[in-house]
Chains A and B, each alone.
Chain A
Amino acid sequence: MSKVAETEERTNLSQLERRRPAVRIGFAVLTTVVVAFLVLACAGPLIVLAKWATSSSQDIISDPFGWWPSGVVWSNLNTALFQIGIGQNFLNTLWVVLGSWIIGLSVAVTGGYVIAILRPWYARFLNAAILATLFIPGIISLVPLYLTILHVPVLGVNLLNSFWAVWLPAGAHAFNVLLVTRFFRSLPSEVFEAAKVDGAGPFRVLFSLVLPMSRPILGVASLLMIVASWKDFLWPLLVLPSTSVQPLAVALPQLETTTTMGVLMASLFIATIVPVLLFLVFQRQFLRNAGQAGALKA
């Protein structure tokens, strides 16, 4: 879409106006200011974090902009990872994210498949019930959900301090199901009808036709789920309180009072690398998806 817009279509400024000196100079000045501001405001704090992660606490506190006055302190990262347990928290976060992703994707794919392609008689009720959760503020179920985790109905188990307490509710995100359902609806249904006539069962159609056709949307949904569960704070804080299962987000705030500034910054840096790298590698998917999110909301 953006390609088309660049070559054939116009925005507010027309081609002719772009050639006018006043517009050109004005736009160039504006670009310089905006880009400089964005680099400073958006990349700046990350650069400062990287710098502080390798600085001594003394340097961070007394000379925040100094060029490593007392040398680069690599030991901060080492101390964070192996002495104060951030390494373990990092592994816990990976584990939380992996499980949330698998559960989230499985629920979205099977749910979307049933609602958009198989369409049993109850599909419309399922769809409505999932949609309805979008309109009910999440806040209403925070405390009841916590009590549900302490005593899961039907299963009758207590999931406190179990990773399932994060994984299972991560599947109940209406947005992901809707995203996948919407994409499945756009797939050519004749192909599935033909496969069905040829004797392919619902599972066969899902695995050999629907999933291979849906790679882009599954990638986008995966990125969404991974970054969302990496960023999550309040819910893991409530259900993973024990030291051995705490993910990074839960462990980091406690470091403020228990370790030095340098090691705290190194820990923050460690917690940031993975989502930032993911974003830098998959920029295009992130940005395209963020734009689509608006279309879906509207």
Chain B
Amino acid sequence: MLYRGKGAMAVKVARAHEATSEPTTPRAPKRARRGTGLRGWYRGGGLSTLLLALPVILVFGLFSWWPIIASIPMSIQKNDLVQPASYVGWANFRAVLSDPLLPTAIQNTVWFTLLAVVIGFPVPILLATYAAELRRGRGLVSALAYLPGVIPPVVSVLLWKQFYDPDGSGLFNTVLGWFSIPPQPFLQNAISAMPSIVVQATWAGFGSTTIIYLAALMSIRSDLYDAAELDGGGIVQRAWHVTLPQIRHIILLMLLLQIIGTLQVFTEPYLMTGGGPANATVTVLMLVYDYAFVYGNYGQATALSLLLAIALGVVSIVYYRVTRRWSSS
């Protein structure tokens, strides 16, 4: 990190430094001298080390690894918290997959993801490319862009819900009225509900992505631009042949993270429309929520979340395979 942007030589120096300051190998003989067995372990600070490791082992063990492992047996159990859990084989998966609402939920979730990519993905790249050229006020632009991201999602959804008021005197409809456009039922219409949610979600999320791109853009070595300019490349050509390839890996990574994130969308549609109108905004995670916390069917909920997790894994692997081919060409 420290050496970034100062040429290949510095990187080599940094690597060499990392290699020499690795103290694992010289430490081994020291441990042998302290003596072996429990007493040597205690004298060497083994007990204090274990005490210090306890918080991370306990917290991750109980609240991260245990639930992840437990999800597998839970997905083949019938569990309503009233009667003791019993194994039911594939019944949960069968029930979940034959739910008539599942295709709708998958379709909506994929639609949300697609819209979020189309609407939300180019904005941070363009904004960061612009902000990187600023000599003054880059901080102000970054801060303004980041601001919506610190507002609690519940607040921003409830506020935007009011902005989307279908009445002619709603905030957005008032603006439309200035241009003589009739009032729109943004959230009450099955076609416009999802795009309206995506616009709000994009607003809330584009700032942090912009900052990540900006950091990547600022670390591009300036001699690359110099060289391109010497070769006669104009501003647009340099953006295309220098800037874009240099941040390509981060663009590809952010795209994957966005896809993974939006496939798990819950809060926005849950609070904005509750899944309506006519199930047009029900998402897969909302189904998981309903199974568990509305119908008390924890086994089916776990089965569906396991399927969703597997789907996300498959998406990541396919994505990795496809983009690796692009990166190497």
Contact = CB atoms under 8 A, between A and B. Distances in A.
Range of interface residues on chain B?
35 or more
Contacts of A171: 55, 59-60, 63
A34 B127 contact: yes
Contact of B208 (A48, A155, A290): A290
Given A10-B226, A148-B62, A233-B153, 8 more contacts: A2-B218, A30-B130, A45-B203, A118-B49, A120-B53, A143-B288, A171-B63, A271-B154
Contact of A39 (B45, B144, B153, B165): B144
A10 B49 contact: no
Interface string A145-157: 1111010111100
B76 interface: no
Interface in B232-291: 235, 238-239, 242-243, 249-250, 253-254, 257, 260, 264, 266-267, 271, 285, 288-289
Given A172-B59, A172-B60, A298-B250, A42 B152 contact: no
A291 B56 contact: no
Interface stretch (A70-78, A79-87, A214-222, A249-257): A249-257
16 contacts: A45-B156, A110-B52, A140-B305, A140-B308, A143-B302, A144-B74, A144-B302, A146-B298, A147-B70, A188-B21, A189-B23, A233-B152, A290-B146, A290-B211, A291-B212, A292-B215
Contacts of B302: 143-144
B10 interface: no
Contact of A38 (B24, B141, B229, B249): B141
Interface in B132-168: 132-135, 137-148, 150-156, 158-160, 162-163, 165, 167
A39 to B, nearest CB: 7
Interface in B274-320: 285, 288-289, 292-293, 298, 301-302, 305-306, 308-309, 312-313
Nearest first, the 5 closest Cβ-Cβ pairs linking A and B are A291-B215, A294-B212, A111-B56, A141-B67, A144-B67
Contacts of B169: 61-64
B152 A230 contact: yes
Nearest to B311: A137
Contact of A148 (B57, B66, B249, B260): B66
Given A118-B45, A168-B59, A278-B150, A233 B267 contact: yes
A287 B132 contact: no
B253 A298 contact: yes
A114 B225 contact: no
B264 A45 contact: no
Given A291-B214, A298-B250, A286 B146 contact: yes
A75 B263 CA distance: 42
B243 A9 contact: no
Contacts of B189: none
Given A114-B53, A133-B65, A275 B23 contact: no
Interface centre among B63, B127, B152, B235 (most CB of A within 10 A): B152
A94 interface: no
A111 B171 contact: no
Given A11-B133, A202-B49, A38 B218 contact: no
B237 to A, nearest CB: 10
B212 A290 contact: yes
A155 B66 CA distance: 13
A227 B149 CA distance: 10
Contacts of A45: 148, 156, 159-160, 163, 203
A-side binding surface: helix, strand, loop or mixed?
A: helix
Interface centre among B66, B127, B159 (most CB of A within 10 A): B159
Contacts of A17: 235
Contact of B171 (A30, A65, A142): A65
Interface residues of A, number: 115
B60 A264 contact: no
A201 interface: yes
A32 B309 CA distance: 44
Contacts of B81: 147, 150
Interface in A1-60: 1-2, 4-6, 8-14, 17-18, 23, 27, 30-31, 34-35, 38-39, 41-43, 45-46, 48-49, 52, 60
B5 interface: yes
B48 interface: yes
A194 interface: no
Nearest to A39: B144
B86 interface: no
Contacts of B21: 188-189
A107 to B, nearest CB: 5
A91 interface: no
B267 to A, nearest CB: 5
A61 B27 CA distance: 71
